[in-house]
A and B are shown apart, each in its own frame.
Chain A
């Protein structure tokens, strides 16, 4: 079946809009309710979104070029790296997580591990100097327990 992308997405949109509407119906009603209340606007939003989803199913656009195997792997690695980075930034200090994360990203673009290592190290230390000393943001170079 052609144009699967839009049809599938339209289906997801409809399901999402339905879930949103159901959740809107469970909003606690406040004390002095005004004529519109807390539920009306979210319900309108869910209604229109659901309608848009239906239109996407009925009249889909051409499919875009979806990424192929190696690209999907690259994207997956990239997203996993970023999530890991987000979790590591606070406990791990700035330098090490940043060097590793930017190294991995750079490696996904240019498959040269030595170069990625160099880019990661330089980016991490360079950005740290700029952010910490030029812009005065409060960043910690190393995990806090090292300082204690």
Chain B
């Protein structure tokens, strides 16, 4: 069977001592980053990309290391949610709703174990599903021409702006900002500069790594400085850690349902892990009804969002690898990594670079077991991380960001540009304008424009060509539906208390 052969190839790569070592290092770093308040998978991976890149790791190695960080940070995100009531990032937000009350009532250890196990189940399911679904999706590659790709990119922006945000105008503006920035540099089709002001540094466009680190990591530093260091740790005692078997058995159906829903949410381009944890929590809450006592610190309320967001994290890899369209902020960052490594994600990836894809999938399976070990028996190590004082942590994060970008280009220009993106990220976040669409725009802008232009060359300028195949029309319908759905959904789902 082809799948078995492919997996064998993958495990041959993943089980080499070197790759294995990278996966373990990645898991450790990732969990640590996830556990730090305010740092999540997207900014964690963003900070580490430039450094990985300067190390000259080959494609598979770099990808294994950083996806391990990604998965690790998804696991680690629950630690600060549960112990401090501070989510490391948006997907971990739902975990605070029951995790923190549980910790306050003296069951911090139980909450960490249950959520750790839920993360494992979610990730396991997602990785298996990824191995099964991704190759199937890869085969539809030949059905995608310029018109279809254009519609697909539109779908990514539409769902990101619709399902994953509160204010469509702001999300659309963020997308346009990214697309507008992507236009800077030499025009692919004519080789003439656009929006460069004659500055040679801008001829190759703005490096998305500069934008990512500025928007995600530096803006976090600015927000923290503004808050005057309010987010300090309060001492929740972590008692003896035992395994609450009864709770785990009781949550078995919750785990399964949440894994499935989370994965599907992750596969949707642009939706991602936040939607995964939100949907699963709301679903379990309504299944449990009033007796479920969600919000007062119940096991299911911790298990559902953790299984959901970890499964969504895996699901988000599907559109990223097969179609080159990321499903979340973090996968957008990973897409940036692939592009800098000269790997073109998308349909041909599975045929051209099977070692990259299957090495990655196999590594993720192994990483998941490593993460279970790190996050249940060894969770104390990471709880310690929470006691790093911000006065050390934030300058540290800033310096790592600077050195990472500096080691890429060695120019002060990129550093100043990164600071500008940091300020922009700060302003955007104050005004609740999402920053992920900006990154997505910078990443996909040129592709989107190129495909539009290719479509028009092929059709001799006939705009109806964009709607000329069933796939293209289907994608347009989904895009419109995805962007407008929240208007209707908002009436159906009431936002839970504590989330504004």
> Is A30 in the interface zone, CB < 8 Å from B?
yes
Nearest CB on A from B459, distance (A): 8
- Whether the pair B396, A102 counts as a contact (CB closer than 8 A) is yes
Q: Name the residue on A nearest B218 (C-beta).
A: A82
Contact of A38 among B55, B189, B406 (CB under 8 A): B189
Q: Is B394 an interface residue (CB 8 A)?
A: yes
Pair A74/B225 contact, Cβ less than 8 Å: yes
Minimum CB–CB distance for A52 against chain B, Å: 4
For window 361-419 of B, CB contacts with A under 8 Å fall at 389-392, 394-396, 398-400, 402-403, 406-407, 410, 412, 415-416, 418-419
Residues on A with C-beta less than 8 A from B430 are: 5, 64, 66
Q: Are B402 and A45 in contact (CB under 8 A)?
A: no
Tell me which of B110-118, B190-198, B351-359 binds A.
B190-198
A110, B389: Cβ atoms closer than 8 Å: yes
What is the bound-complex CA distance between A137 and B461, given in angstroms? 50
In the complex, the answer to whether A34 meets B189 with C-beta atoms within 8 Å is yes
Binds A, one of B12-20, B169-177, B233-241, B338-346: B169-177
Residue of B nearest to A35 (CB): B461
> At the interface, yes or no: A146 with Cβ under 8 Å from chain B?
no
Provide the bound-state CA to CA distance between A138 and B192, in Å. Answer: 34
Which residues of B sit under 8 angstroms from A119, Cβ to Cβ? 391-392, 395
The yes or no answer to B467 lying at the interface (CB within 8 A) is no
Which B residues touch A74, using CB under 8 A?
Answer: 225-226, 228
**Which B-chain residue is minimally distant from A67 (CB atoms)?**
B226
Chain B: minimal CB distance from A65 (Å)? 8
Q: Does B452 contact A (CB under 8 A)?
A: yes
The stretch among B2-10, B179-187, B261-269 that forms the contact with chain A is: B179-187
Q: A20 touching B180 by the CB < 8 A rule?
A: yes
Q: Which residues of B contact A79 (CB under 8 A)?
A: 222, 419, 423
Number of chain A residues whose Cβ lies closer than 8 Å to a Cβ of chain B: 70
Q: Which chain A positions have C-beta within 8 A of B412?
A: 86-87, 89-90
Q: Across the interface, do B54 and A38 meet the contact criterion of CB distance under 8 Å?
A: no
Q: Are A27 and B192 in contact (CB under 8 A)?
A: yes
Residues 14-30 of chain A, each 1 if its beta carbon lies under 8 Å from chain B, else 0: 00010010011001111
Contact B180 A83 (CB under 8 A): no
Residues on the A chain within 8 Å of B453, using CB:
34-36, 41
Q: Is the CB of A75 within 8 A of B176?
A: no
- Which one of A20, A53, A78, A110 lies within 8 Å of B222 (CB-CB)? A78
Q: Please tell me if the beta carbons of B399 and A102 are within 8 angstroms of each other in the complex.
A: yes
Question: Are B456 and A102 neighbours in the complex by a CB distance under 8 Å?
Answer: no
Chain A residues within an 8 Å CB radius of B224: 109
Please report the total number of B residues contacting A with Cβ < 8 Å.
63
Interface mask (A111-141 → B, CB under 8 Å = 1, otherwise 0)? 0000110011001100100010001111100
Q: Give residues 67-84 of A contacting B (CB, 8 Å).
A: 67, 70-71, 74-75, 78-79, 82-83
Cα distance, A110 to B395, chains bound together (Å): 11
Give the distance in Å from the alpha carbon of A89 to the alpha carbon of B399 in the complex. Answer: 11
Interface of chain A, main secondary structure = helix
Q: How far is the CA of A108 from the CA of B228 in the complex (A)?
A: 8
User: Which of B192, B195, B222, B402 is A85 in contact with, Cβ under 8 Å?
Assistant: B402
- New A-B contacts (19) at CB < 8 Å, excluding given A61-B167, A127-B403: A27-B192, A27-B195, A30-B187, A38-B187, A38-B192, A46-B180, A61-B432, A74-B225, A82-B419, A85-B415, A86-B412, A102-B398, A102-B399, A105-B394, A106-B394, A109-B229, A109-B394, A123-B399, A127-B400
Q: List 29 A-B contacts (CB under 8 A).
A: A5-B431, A9-B427, A9-B431, A30-B191, A33-B190, A34-B456, A35-B461, A41-B179, A45-B176, A45-B183, A48-B172, A52-B173, A56-B169, A66-B430, A67-B226, A74-B225, A75-B225, A75-B226, A78-B222, A82-B402, A85-B415, A106-B394, A106-B395, A108-B225, A109-B224, A123-B399, A124-B399, A139-B403, A139-B407
Q: A residues bordering B, Cβ < 8 Å?
A: 5-6, 9, 13, 17, 20, 23-24, 27-36, 38, 41-42, 45-46, 48-49, 52-53, 55-56, 59, 61, 64, 66-67, 70-71, 74-75, 78-79, 82-83, 85-87, 89-90, 94, 98, 101-103, 105-106, 108-110, 115-116, 119-120, 123-124, 127, 131, 135-139
- Complex A-B, nearest 6 residue pairs according to Cβ-Cβ distance, in ascending order: A30-B190, A35-B461, A86-B415, A102-B395, A52-B173, A110-B391
B residues with a Cβ closer than 8 A to A are 51, 54-55, 167, 169-170, 172-173, 176-177, 179-180, 183, 187, 189-192, 194-195, 218, 221-222, 224-229, 389-392, 394-396, 398-400, 402-403, 406-407, 410, 412, 415-416, 418-419, 422-423, 427, 430-432, 448-449, 452-453, 456-457, 460-461
